[in-house]
Structure 1
């Protein structure tokens, strides 16, 4: 079983632009959404393997876009990694047929899962994030860059 979840850890007024007061989220750029808003504590487990970053303040939209890109590489049978905006740590994905070996630089954990299961877990996570944040911030739902995540 693959679990990808997040918990909001902000706002950290002194960290980037996480303070959203007065910001029109309907027009915030893709880059700003990726790197400066909606900081989170991520949970990422595959079976018993704990791949969750051990730090807070991970921008949830950056993780969503990074995972989307990683999945595109995996569908082509390519190895790939995703990084984090706040440090040099990586999650590595190594495809072998329909399976993917997943490991990270910040933990000894390693797991193997089906590529389709990883994609489905990401889709569920994406919908949960977009639904929750759009409900909490109606202007965010109108931001056209979010459509990129649904392609």
Structure 2
């Protein structure tokens, strides 16, 4: 079972004068909603998480949805033995999360995890579903907290690109 989550940082609050309804892509992806994120396999009790406090959580959710789609470009889909790789690099850091799909399974590792630790392994379809659910739930939370965010056309476009599965 996949668990995706986040916490917003108190050390890096959003600027109080922010107009969330007019925030551009750069602000939404890199300047706002900083905190930490985690990706966990609850059956194996294994987790990849950040503890830096400055990860843009909306960007993480957005990038994760992009990566899951990028890993699905092989026409053979889950029957493909060819490895497909992608990485999520964190702003302001050299750290990366690495994704590798083979057949219908995705291995997820990170630069900051010891090499002897096994990767998290998820079914691709389940990871797609959970990534999209996480994005929609995160946007709903952020919209409740920040007036005008729900009126931002970039958010509308984002949610329409990655509808719930």
Report the TM-score when normalising by structure 1: 0.89
Distance 1:38 1:147 in 2: 17
In structure 2, what is the equivalent of residue 86 of structure 1? Answer: 92
Return 5+ residue gaps in structure 1 as ranges. none
- The residue that corresponds to 1:3 in the other structure is 3
How many residues are matched?
146
Q: What SS is found at the alignment partner of 2:70? A: helix
How far apart are the structure 2 equivalents of 1:33 and 1:97?
34
Instruction: Return 5+ residue gaps in structure 2 as ranges.
Output: 75-83
Query: Which residue of structure 1 aligns with residue 38 of structure 2?
Result: 43
Aligned counterpart, 1:115: 124
Residues in 1 aligned to 2:37 and 2:140: alpha-carbon distance in whole angstroms: 17
1:137 matched residue in structure 2: 146
**1:127 equivalent among 113, 128, 136:** 136
Distance in 1, Cα, partners of 2:65 & 2:133: 12
Shift of 1:81: 0.5
Any idea what the Cα deviations from partners look like across 1:62-113, whole Å, max 9, x if unmatched? Answer: 1022112211111114310111012011111111111111111111341211
- Partners in 2 of 1:149 and 1:11 — Cα distance? 27
8 Å CA contact retained: 2:67, 2:86: yes
